[in-house]
Structure 1
Amino acid sequence: MMEIYIALLKQDVKLGDVKEKLAEEGMDFLKFYPMLNMVKIRAEKDPSKPCHEIFETVEKEKDDFSSHTH
């Protein structure tokens, strides 16, 4: 099952290199957040290990914004 992940890019990594690496690993690039230096990706498995040279951290996207507890 495909999951959505948010990843923080390492300091000197270029977006083109990220897209290339994700394609090599069979992962989908979804969005780039330039102010945060983060990307949103879709992958079947956690991209932390195969992409450790380009990502500082990787987190599975959580649906926190839609769950209100009022």
Structure 2
Amino acid sequence: MRLFLAVAVLMLALVAYTEAQDDSIEDKFARFGERMSEIGQTVAEKAKTTFDNIHNSDVAVNARGWFEERFQQIKDTFQ
């Protein structure tokens, strides 16, 4: 029973707070959506940059070269 009362009081406080603000709840949700979109784009850009850095690192380039050489040797062996 106390939990329901506490939730009801919190909801009333939230409603009173949002009504006291100049911005409507719709504006807040719109800005929240825009911020989430910006965060998503930032994370995507950072992930792409990190992937490119790893892909072009010396270790990755050397490993790819080593595997290509071994694969070519195997192909030559079977021909």
TM range (shorter): under 0.3
Structure having the higher Rg: 2
More strand as a share of residues: 1
Q: Work out which structure has the larger RCO, using CA pairs closer than 8 Å and 6 or more positions apart in sequence.
A: 1
Q: Which has the higher helix share?
A: 2
- Report the TM-score, using the length of structure 2 for normalisation: 0.21
